[in-house]
Amino acid sequence: MTDNLDQLCVNTIRTLAMDGVQKAKSGHPGMPMGMADATYVLWTRFLVHSPSDPQWPNRDRFVLSAGHGSMLLYSLLHLTGYDLPLDELKRFRQLDSLTPGHPEYGLTPGVETTTGPLGQGFANGVGMAIAESFLAATFNRPDFPLFDHHTYAIVSDGDLMEGVSHEAASLAGHLGLRKLIYLYDDNEISIEGSTDLAFTEDVLARFRAYGWHVQEVDGHSLDAVDAAIRAAQAEQDRPSLIACRTHIAYGAPNMQNSAEAHGAPLGVEEIRLTKEALGWPTDEPFHIPDEALAVFRHAVEQGRTAQAKWTDLLTRYRVAYPEEAVLLDTLLAGELPEGWQEALPTFDAGDGPMATRKASGNVLNAIAPVLPTLIGGSADLAPSNNTQLKSCLAFQCGAEGGRNFHFGVREHGMGSILNGMALHGGLRVYGGTFLVFSDYMRPSVRVAALMGLPVVYIWTHDSVWLGEDGPTHQPVEHLAALRVIPNLVVIRPADANETAAAWQVALERRDGPTALALTRQSLPVMDESRRDAAETVARGAYILADASGTPDVILIATGSEVALALAARDLLTQQGIAVRVVSMPSMELFDAQPQSYRDGVLPPDVTARMGIEAGVTSVWHKYVGTAGDVLGIDRFGASAPYKDLMKKFGFTPEAVAERALRLLGK
């Protein structure tokens, strides 16, 4: 009887989750048990995927936003035939297993994104759906629907409480992402107890207000879930939310509907009782009935068939649209079209002073034509961040080939959506806001770094020198706070040419995000920097101006402070001091250089060193050493024209020269 077989399958998921958490003595069994039914329906009746090729470009994307329910995902990946042996499920949450506490992208085959920090997966899915629709608009041709897949997610109460999900949901509704279908695990239980303690909003009405198609079903009724997903697929204008009313830890006689089942093993006795109630063998953990496995494993053959059909489509596409196909191959491989660097502009000192944010805008617009899937935008600061691609349209509902994104005042949503776009493949993405508001998107930046996604952040107004907007808008701690995120490269270019080089580094990077910290105010274009900015910036720090012999003092500066260091050098040289100026656009890139290169730039025997940067000083001691000095700003800023602030904070050539003399004991 089909019904019984279905139940057998569902209970296989349920018991694997129980057993995995119990064996690990840690984890979250309640959610997988509650959502086993709905997820079973999705994975066996709707999800188009190919377990033998998790990279198939046109697969449906599945996101477990409620990442704490990772055993649900691991169970399904194993059961449907991904390269995830049962032994790995038995090593849940152990060192070097493929089944960490929360799903990790790049580690486990079939895991589409790293989740756990709530709300991130919700917004990642929005980014994936955006990517699909952009690639479809760009590469599909009549009778060639190369990109035509859905993006599904399972989202929890916690996901829907997090602000980032509100931001992403509002934007998804605005953009009319009709192929986005989310199952909401509406179990009314969170860690502190009933969701009634803090979460009594009308979720469906809220999503309707965002412009979503909404449904509510019994999450334990396979038929109801089936019908709801069908209706969601049929919806032509809006993303879909299907609220599945479920019971957490469904099937556990004493733990069902209990907050205790959220984040701890059920215990040996409760598992025994649950298995007895399910008619399950109690003496064999990780038991998988053969009949159930056979049902799940259909996915392998179904996937191969679907993928073969698509590969055939692509083969015919190659003939009909050879140029597009070549480009597509490059992009799907994560590569950039050959020779793209030739489009990078260079700047002359004679061009006059230019803010690095403006230089960045010029670079973006120069390379946009040769990088047709370079897309991005700003959190409502495009005119200030210079993120607009002037030759391109906006990405909007009905104009999904547009390359300019209006993210709205939603920095966090932007960051997490960018991650989803990057995860999808085929795109290179960027997003802009003021550097101070990198704080708003920081959780998404962290996950991008953890996943190794090549996202580019355009963070302008990068110091107190933005002036009049005052301390709420003036970053002082942000460069330091970003530099400590592992695998994030922060570049603060000193002029227009360093900015072009920074873009080259950022786009050639494939294993992690890059942040560009750019000025509001104009900076001179330095002659010195022009010759080989691409190479010097890639090394993180380099000698920009040197003394003829051994330097008495080294001035190390970043961004807008490099010109200041050069001016101070002129004053010091007049007094007979031998000064080396080092431009250090990126500490991370410099730290990655061989010791010999680093010692060449900062010779160990020159201990009179001064770091100069309009921000907090704590990260500089590594470079200036015990005998050195740092000119920074270890306090919040102030509202005033920036030249007044430079005087106030001692960032004038005279003040720097004087301080350097003091350091030299003169």
Which one of 54, 145, 401, 408 is in contact with a second copy (CB under 8 A)?
Answer: 408
Which helix (H) or strand (E) segment holds residue 405: the answer is: strand 404-406
Smallest gap from residue 574 Cβ to a second copy (A): 30
Minimum CB distance to a second copy, residue 649 (Å): 11
Of 634, 654, 664, 666, the one binding a second copy by CB under 8 A: 634
User: Least CB distance from residue 523 to a second copy, whole Å?
Assistant: 19
Amino acid, res. 87: D
Cα 277 from Cα 339, distance rounded (Å)? 65
Nearer to a second copy, 192 or 335 (CB): 192
Of 223 and 644, the one with the shorter C-beta distance to a second copy is: 644
In the complex, the smallest distance separating the C-beta of residue 531 from a second copy, rounded to whole angstroms, is 31
Query: How many Å apart are CA 420 and CA 568, to the nearest integer?
Result: 46
C-alpha angle 52/513/462, rounded to 5°? 160
Closest CA to 434 of 353, 497, 515, 505: 515
Q: Return phi, psi of residue 25, to 5°.
A: 55, 30
Based on the shown chain and the rule CB under 8 A, indicate whether residue 90 belongs to the binding site for a second copy.
no
Closest distance to a second copy from the beta carbon of 448 (Å): 12
Size of the site for a second copy (CB under 8 A): 109
Longest dimension (CA), the chain: 95
Closest distance to a second copy from the beta carbon of 288 (Å): 24
The rounded distance, in Å, linking the Cα atoms of 516 and 416 is 18
Q: Which is nearer to a second copy, 171 or 534 (CB)?
A: 171
Stretch 161-220 residues interacting with a second copy (CB under 8 A): 161-167, 170-171, 173-174, 190-192, 197-206, 208-211
Q: Given the complex with a second copy, which of 30 and 467 has the nearer CB atom?
A: 467
Q: How far is CA 327 from CA 225, 373, 429, in A?
A: 40, 10, 17
Nearest approach, Cβ of 206 to a second copy (angstroms)? 4
In sequence order, the 6+-apart residues with CB closer than 8 A to the CB of 201 are none
Q: Which is nearer to a second copy, 57 or 116 (CB)?
A: 116
Among 86, 326, 484, 664, binds a second copy (CB under 8 A): 484
Q: Does 626 help bind a second copy (rule: CB under 8 A)? A: yes
Stretch of 126-134, 137-145, 468-476, 594-602 contacting a second copy, by CB under 8 A: 468-476
Q: CB-wise, 171 or 224, nearer to a second copy?
A: 171
Among 271, 537, 616, 656, which residue sits at the site for a second copy (rule: CB under 8 A)? Answer: 616
- Options 33, 619, 646, 660; binder of a second copy; rule CB under 8 A: 619
Q: What is the DSSP string of 326-354?
A: HHHHHHHTT---TTGGGG-----GGG--E
Report the alpha-carbon distance of residue 222 to residue 495 in Å, rounded.
61
Residue 134 near residue 427 (C-beta atoms within 8 A)? yes
Contact flag: residue 470 with a second copy (CB under 8 A): yes
- Within 8 A by CB and 6+ apart from 354, the residues are 347, 495, 496, 522, 523, 525
Q: State the Cα–Cα distance between residues 475 and 361, nearest whole angstrom.
A: 21
The answer to whether 386 and 460 are in contact (CB under 8 A) is: yes
Query: Helix, strand, coil: what percent of the chain each, to 5?
Result: 45, 15, 40
Q: Is the Cβ of residue 26 or residue 311 nearer to a second copy in the bound state? A: 26
- Alpha helices in 350-495, H assignment, sequence order: 356-367, 382-385, 411-424, 442-451, 478-483
Span from 155-163, 457-465, 508-516, 534-542 in contact with a second copy (CB under 8 A): 155-163
DSSP reduced 3-state for 426: coil
User: Cα separation of 579 and 666, whole Å?
Assistant: 14
List, in order, residues 6 or more apart from 340 with CB less than 8 Å away: 367, 370, 371, 507
Q: Which of residues 374-403 bind a second copy (CB under 8 A)?
A: 378, 380-384, 394, 396
Q: How many CB atoms lie within 10 A of CB 508?
A: 14
Nearer to a second copy, 313 or 394 (CB): 394
Reading the block at residue 242, the tokens are 């299907």
Q: In angstroms, rounded to a whole number, what is the distance separating the alpha carbons of residues 439 and 454?
A: 19
The smaller minimum CB distance to a second copy, of residues 174 and 304, is found at 174
Check binding of 459 to a second copy (CB under 8 A): no
Site residues for a second copy, 1-60, by CB under 8 A, read 24, 26-27
CB of 628 to a second copy, least distance (A): 9
Q: Is 595 in the site for a second copy (CB under 8 A)?
A: no
Q: How far is the CB of 446 from a second copy (least distance, A)?
A: 6
CB of 78 or CB of 473, closer to a second copy: 473
Site for a second copy in 95-134 (CB under 8 A): 95-97, 100-102, 104, 114-118
Per CB under 8 A, contacts with a second copy among 219-248 are: none
Stretch that binds a second copy, among 39-47, 218-226, 244-252, 620-628 (CB under 8 A): 620-628
Q: Classify 323 as helix, strand or coil.
A: helix
- Which stretch, 73-81, 299-307, 324-332, 408-416, contacts a second copy (CB under 8 A)? 408-416
- With respect to a second copy, which residue has the nearer C-beta, 311 or 618? 618
94 binds a second copy (CB under 8 A): yes
Based on the residue annotation, tell me whether 411 is a catalytic residue of this protein: yes
Rounded Cα distance between 492 and 620, Å, is 15
> Tokens 């399972």 identify what position?
154
Which residues inside 416-445 make contact with a second copy, applying CB under 8 A?
Answer: 436-437, 439-440, 442-443
Q: Is 586 in the site for a second copy (CB under 8 A)?
A: no
Cα angle 504, 507, 511 (rounded to 5 degrees) comes to: 130
Q: What are 514's two structure tokens?
A: 């890059």
**Rounded to an integer, what distance in angstroms lies between the CA atom of residue 433 and that of residue 233?**
35
Structure tokens, 285: 């953990």
Q: How far is the CB of 185 from a second copy (least distance, A)?
A: 13
Considering 88, 132, 411, 561, which one is annotated as catalytic? 411
- Per-residue binding letters, 498-537, with a second copy (x by CB under 8 A): ----------------------------------------
Restricted to residues 300-359, the positions that interact with a second copy (CB under 8 A) are none
| Least separation in angstroms between CB 222 and a second copy | 29
Give the N- to C-terminal CA distance of the chain in Å, as an integer.
93
Please give the positions annotated as active site: 411
